C-alpha cells in the first residue's frame, strides 16, 4: 500500500461540487465547457470528468460531496481508486484534507488477491506535498494486513497459520515471543482457551509477544482468534456460519494496530495476547452445562457453546491483568446483538473510565474510524451469576447481549478504568469509499491516534 513520489507530470485531480462548479466552469477554456455540457458533467458527487487544461494536458474533475453542513463521508475521495483508469495521478485544486484523501485512496485500492488476480491495473496516486507520507502508508499497510487475515478462509488461516502470522510480525520487529499449544495450556493455567479449542484438528493456542522499553507506556492488546466458529454443539444454522472465517477478526485487529505501532517505532512497551482456537464439533467438544475453572479462579458454567469468544478472552484478560498495563484493549467479533444495535459499520465499545471513553470518542470522530460507547450497565450484571458456579457465560434472557458479554469480560479485568472492550464486526457487506466489500479492520486507526496522543501527554509531563 504505497503512494508514488510527487510528480508534476501526473494527471491532476481537481475536487469540485455542485455548489462551486458554476464558478469553476466559468474559468475553464470554452472547449472544456462545451465538452462538460456534452457529457452532462454537473459535478454530481462521485462523477469523474476528463478534460484538457488550458495547456492541453489531461485533467480530472471529481465530483466531491457538498461542503454544507459537512461532507457525509470523509473518505469519499476513495471513490477515485476504483473510478479512475490506470495511470499516475496527483491531487489538484479543491482538496481540503489531502492526507485524509490519500489514505482513503489507499484503503479503497485494497484488493484481496490471494486466490484471484486483479482484473486490471489500478491507478496510482502521488503523495500529496506536505502530508506525512510514511504515516499514511503505514496505516494503510497495517489495515491491509488485517484485511488479508480476515479474508483468508480457514483452510488457509486456521490456528496454526494465524499464530504464524502473529509470530512473524513480532519477529520482524525483534519482539520477544512465545506460543502455548494444546495440553500445555492446561499446564500453564489457561483452561477456558483449552476447553473451547480442544475439539478441533489444530490444537488451541495462546500467542504472546512483547516489544519496547520497560519504562514506556504499557499497552496490552488482546484479540479474539476464533478461526472458525461452528457454534460448537449448539451449532449455528448454515446462514449464520457463512461468514465465520472472520471470527478471528479481533486477533486481526490487534495485529493491525500492533503493526502500526511497531512500524512507526512508537516508544511504548507493547504486549499482544491472542487466544487462538477453532470452535469445532467432535467427541471432545465442550458441552452446554459443563463447568470450568478459569485462570482467574472463577468457575464458569457453559450456557451456550456458541458464546465461546468471551471464554477464551476471559483467560487472556485475566493473564493480561496479572501485569497491569496502562492501557488494556480487547477486540472481538463477539455478539450479533452489537450488529442489531449499531449495524456493521459502528462497533460499540465499553470502558469503566469516563476520560478514556471521551478520548476514544474524539479520536474515532477525527480518524473517521467510528465507535460508539455502550454502557456497562451494572443492574444487568447479576444475570451472569451462576446457580452451581460463580458465573455463566450467557444470561437467560434475550436482551442486551452485547452489554452482558462486556460485563462478563469485566469480571476478568483487574482494573476496568484502564480497559476498553470493542465488539467489532470486521466485515463490510458492500463496498463504500475506503471500505471495500469483505474483511475490515475497525478501531485500530483511532487507537493508534489515541496511543500517540497519550505518549505526547506523558512526555509533556515528564
- pLDDT tens readout for residues 352-376: 999 999 999 999 999 999 999 999 9
Confidence class of residue 44 from pLDDT cuts 50, 70 and 90?
very high
Q: How far is the CA of 386 from the CAs of 190, 198, 301, 381, in angstroms?
A: 21, 24, 7, 11
Residue 51 has pLDDT above 80, yes or no: yes
CB atoms within 10 A of CB 239: 7
Cis? peptide before 114, omega within 30° of 0: no
Distance CA 367, CA 247 (A): 25
What is residue 29's three-state secondary structure?
Answer: coil
User: What is the pLDDT averaged over residues 288-310?
Assistant: 98
Pair 233, 287: CB distance under 8 Å:
yes
Residue 68 has pLDDT above 60, yes or no: no
- Separate counts of helices (H) and strands (E) for the chain: 15, 19
* pLDDT at residue 27, rounded to an integer: 87
* pLDDT at residue 53, rounded to an integer: 77
Q: Single out the catalytic residue among 310, 339, 411, 445.
A: 310
Q: In percent, how much of the chain has pLDDT > 90?
A: 90
Span between the terminal Cα atoms of the chain, in Å: 36
The verdict on whether 310 is a catalytic residue reads yes
Distance CA 439, CA 426 (A): 6
**How would you list the strands of the sheet with 291-293, edge to edge?**
291-293, 299-301, 391-392
Q: Which fold has domain 11-131?
A: 3.40.220
Nearest to 134 by CA among 112, 172, 102: 102
Pair 306, 232: CB distance under 8 Å:
yes
Domain boundaries, the chain: 11-131, 136-460
Distance CA 360, CA 392 (A): 30
- Length of the chain counted residue by residue: 462
Supply the CATH classification number for the domain 136-460. 3.40.630.10
Pair 116, 159: CB distance under 8 Å:
no
Nearest to 426 by CA among 151, 47, 129, 55: 151
Pair 422, 332: CB distance under 8 Å:
yes
Q: Single out the catalytic residue among 135, 236, 373, 432.
A: 236
CB atoms within 10 A of CB 309: 27
Report the chain's mean pLDDT, rounded to a whole number: 96
Distance CA 317, CA 301 (A): 18
What is the value of pTM for the model shown?
Answer: 0.96
Confidence class of residue 71 from pLDDT cuts 50, 70 and 90?
low
Q: Which residues lie below 8 Å from residue 317, measured CB to CB, with a gap of 6+?
A: 222, 328, 330, 409, 412, 413, 419
The verdict on whether 236 is a catalytic residue reads yes
Same fold, 11-131 and 136-460: no
Q: What are phi and psi of 443, to 5 degrees?
A: 80, -15
102-154 confidence digits (pLDDT tens):
999 999 999 999 999 888 899 999 999 999 999 999 999 999 999 999 999 99
- Reported as half-sphere exposure (CB side, CA atoms, 13 A), residue 188 has a value of 17
pLDDT top residue among 134 and 27: 134
Amino acid at each position: 500500500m504505497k503512494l508514488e513520489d510527487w510528480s508534476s507530470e501526473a494527471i491532476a485531480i481537481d475536487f469540485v461540487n455542485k455548489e462551486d462548479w458554476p464558478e469553476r466552469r466559468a474559468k475553464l477554456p470554452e472547449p472544456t465547457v462545451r465538452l462538460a455540457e456534452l457529457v452532462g458533467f454537473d459535478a454530481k458527487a462521485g462523477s469523474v470528468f476528463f478534460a484538457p487544461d488550458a495547456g492541453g494536458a489531461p485533467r480530472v474533475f471529481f465530483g466531491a460531496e457538498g461542503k454544507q453542513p459537512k461532507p457525509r463521508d470523509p473518505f469519499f475521495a476513495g471513490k477515485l481508486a476504483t473510478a479512475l483508469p490506470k495511470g499516475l495521478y496527483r491531487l489538484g485544486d479543491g482538496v481540503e484534507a489531502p492526507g485524509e484523501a490519500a489514505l482513503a485512496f489507499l484503503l479503497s485500492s485494497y484488493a484481496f488477491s490471494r486466490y484471484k488476480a486483479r482484473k486490471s491495473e489500478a491507478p496510482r496516486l502521488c503523495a500529496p506535498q506536505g502530508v506525512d507520507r510514511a504515516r499514511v502508508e503505514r496505516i494503510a499497510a497495517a489495515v491491509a494486513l488485517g484485511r488479508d487475515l480476515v479474508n483468508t478462509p480457514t483452510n488457509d488461516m486456521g490456528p496454526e497459520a494465524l499464530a504464524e502470522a502473529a509470530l512473524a510480525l513480532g519477529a520482524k520487529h525483534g519482539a520477544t515471543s512465545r506460543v502455548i499449544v494444546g495440553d500445555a495450556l492446561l499446564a500453564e493455567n489457561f483452561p477456558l482457551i483449552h476447553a473451547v479449542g480442544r475439539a478441533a484438528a489444530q490444537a488451541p493456542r495462546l500467542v504472546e509477544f512483547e516489544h519496547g522499553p520497560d519504562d514506556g507506556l504499557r499497552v496490552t492488546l488482546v484479540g479474539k482468534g476464533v478461526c472458525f466458529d461452528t457454534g460448537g454443539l449448539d451449532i449455528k444454522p448454515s446462514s449464520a456460519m457463512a461468514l465465520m472465517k472472520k471470527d478471528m477478526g479481533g486477533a486481526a485487529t490487534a495485529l493491525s494496530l500492533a503493526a502500526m505501532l511497531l512500524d512507526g517505532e512508537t516508544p511504548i512497551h507493547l504486549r499482544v495476547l491472542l487466544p487462538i482456537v477453532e470452535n469445532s464439533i467432535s467427541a471432545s467438544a465442550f458441552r452446554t452445562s459443563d463447568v470450568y475453572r478459569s485462570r482467574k479462579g472463577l468457575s464458569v458454567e457453559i450456557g451456550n457453546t456458541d458464546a465461546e469468544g468471551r471464554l477464551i478472552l476471559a483467560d487472556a484478560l485475566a493473564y493480561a491483568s496479572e501485569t497491569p498495563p496502562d492501557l488494556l484493549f480487547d477486540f472481538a467479533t463477539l455478539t450479533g446483538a452489537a450488529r442489531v444495535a449499531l449495524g456493521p459499520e459502528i462497533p460499540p465499545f465499553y470502558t469503566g473510565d469516563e476520560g478514556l471513553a471521551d478520548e476514544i470518542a474524539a479520536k474515532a470522530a477525527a480518524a473517521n474510524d467510528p465507535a460508539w460507547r455502550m454502557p456497562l450497565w451494572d443492574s444487568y450484571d447479576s444475570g451472569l451469576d451462576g446457580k452451581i458456579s460463580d458465573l455463566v457465560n450467557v444470561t437467560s434472557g434475550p436482551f442486551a447481549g452485547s452489554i452482558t458479554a462486556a460485563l462478563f469480560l469485566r469480571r476478568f479485568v483487574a482494573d476496568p478504568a484502564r480497559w476498553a472492550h470493542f465488539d467489532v464486526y470486521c466485515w463490510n457487506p458492500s463496498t463504500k469509499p475506503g471500505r471495500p466489500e469483505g474483511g475490515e479492520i475497525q478501531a485500530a486507526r483511532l487507537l493508534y491516534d489515541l496511543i500517540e496522543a497519550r505518549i505526547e501527554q506523558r512526555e509533556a509531563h515528564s
